Structure 1
Amino acid sequence: MNELTETTIEADRTLPIVRVARDFTATPAQLLRAHTDPELFVRWVGPDALTTRVDRWDARTGGSWRYVSVDGDTEHWFHGSFHEIGPSRLVQTFTYEGAPDGVALETVWFEDLGGGRTRLRSQSLVDSFDARDAILRSGMEVGVTEGYAKLERMLDDGAV
């Protein structure tokens, strides 16, 4: 299996899906914790230029979440529900409140590669190709790439 040392982001050609993948020096449990512990999550999610603050966070199957990412005087609010939290998979909805009619169904898999490495794969399914393309144009690539770089540093430092 090829090692993914950089984040890959691709749009599915036949479905309105965005797929992301990256390998981490971490266990699946560490990556799950980084995605479900609000104190860890706010430290790595999103672009370097933004700070994130949690409004509510109930990380359990059936729970919900809401957070804001702040850039100066500009706030970007997001919310969703945790549909499944398991040892190797996380399923949640994701809504950017600036476009409240758009809901993504996100699935994140944590695949144990052995040797202390895990491949994180995710997919976000939206209701149209236009919505998918808007996500790709939104700057999400910067947020995902910079966010996962921060997460890698946190893992290297033993913070997770």
Structure 2
Amino acid sequence: MSGAARPVRVSTPADRDIVLTRDFDAPRRLVFDALTRPDLLRRWFGAQGWQLVVCEVDLRVGGTWRFVSQGPDGARMGHGGVYQLIRPVERLSYTEQYDDQSYPGVTVISHRLVENHGRTTLTTTIRYATPEGRDRVLRYPMARGVSESYARLDRVLVAPQPVRDQPGEGSAP
């Protein structure tokens, strides 16, 4: 991993879509694990100053996930959804809704992981329910927040902990 943070490439190929692309110096198995394992998600998910205080993952098609993040001022943000597609190490797709309905409707997030010589390109397509929802997100500092989160992920990928969650701590049995 280089000393400089890698940029997240952001594109808007359709009126409801945002596509984020980022390279990681890690095999896709590890990147996939970091997207799906609560013990790893807790270590990187969220912009600087935000931490997951609830991380529940039932990783199966039809299974649910739920995250609650807490910010530096104590503010909480909750969201969750349902897994739609799981192809370990290749693809992951799920719905997402925020508790406060700040983004009305259901958003669908799809990750594609491609490995080349031990490096993984993660392409995330976020499809909002409406063009207005997508445009609202684009007005926020989304790219900065994702970049900060992925910089945290870089550090996790260098030193992943093999310890799994204990039953009752947000992991699926």
The answer to whether the superposition gives a TM-score over 0.5 is yes
CA distance in 2, matches of 1:83, 1:98: 23
Matched with 1:109 is 112
Q: Which stretches in structure 1 are left out of the alignment for 5+ residues?
A: none
1:61-95 Cα deviation digits (max 9, x unpaired): 22101111111321111111111111200000111
Letter aligned with residue 21 of structure 1: T
DSSP-derived class of the 2:61 partner? coil
The CA distance in 2 between the partners of 1:122 and 1:145, in whole Å, is 13
Pairing 1:92–2:94 present: yes
Number of the residue aligned with 2:31: 31
Q: Distance in 1 between matches of 2:8 and 2:101?
A: 26
Q: If the length of structure 1 is used for normalisation, what is the TM-score?
A: 0.88
Amino acid at match of 1:112: E
Letter in 2 for 1:152: D
Which letter does structure 2 place at the counterpart of 1:6?
P
* Pair 1:41–1:55, CA change in 2 (3 A): closer
Within a 5 Å distance, the mapping from 1:21-60 to structure 2 comes to 21-54=21-54, 56-60=56-60
Output the CA distance in 2 between the equivalents of 1:40 and 1:158.
7
Length-normalised TM-score, structure 2: 0.82
| Change in CA separation of 1:55 and 1:153 when aligned onto 2, cut-off 3 Å | closer
Of the three residues 142, 145, 170, the one matched with 1:143 is 145
Check conservation: 2:128, 2:134, Cα contact below 8 A. yes
Structure 2 vs 1, CA of residues 136 and 159 (structure 1 numbering), >3 Å: closer, same or farther? Answer: farther
User: When you count strand as a share of all residues, which structure comes out higher?
Assistant: 1
Greater shift in the superposed pair: 29-38 or 64-73: 64-73
1:17 and 1:126 in contact (8 A); partners too: yes
Change over 3 Å in CA distance of 1:151–1:59 after alignment to 2:
same
4+ runs of 1 displaced by more than 6 Å?
A: none
Contact 2:81 2:94 in 1 (8 A): yes
Q: Provide the identity percentage.
A: 30
Size of the alignment, in residue pairs?
154
Unaligned 5+ segments in structure 2 are 1-5, 163-173
**Aligned mates of 1:154, 1:112 — CA distance in 2:** 18
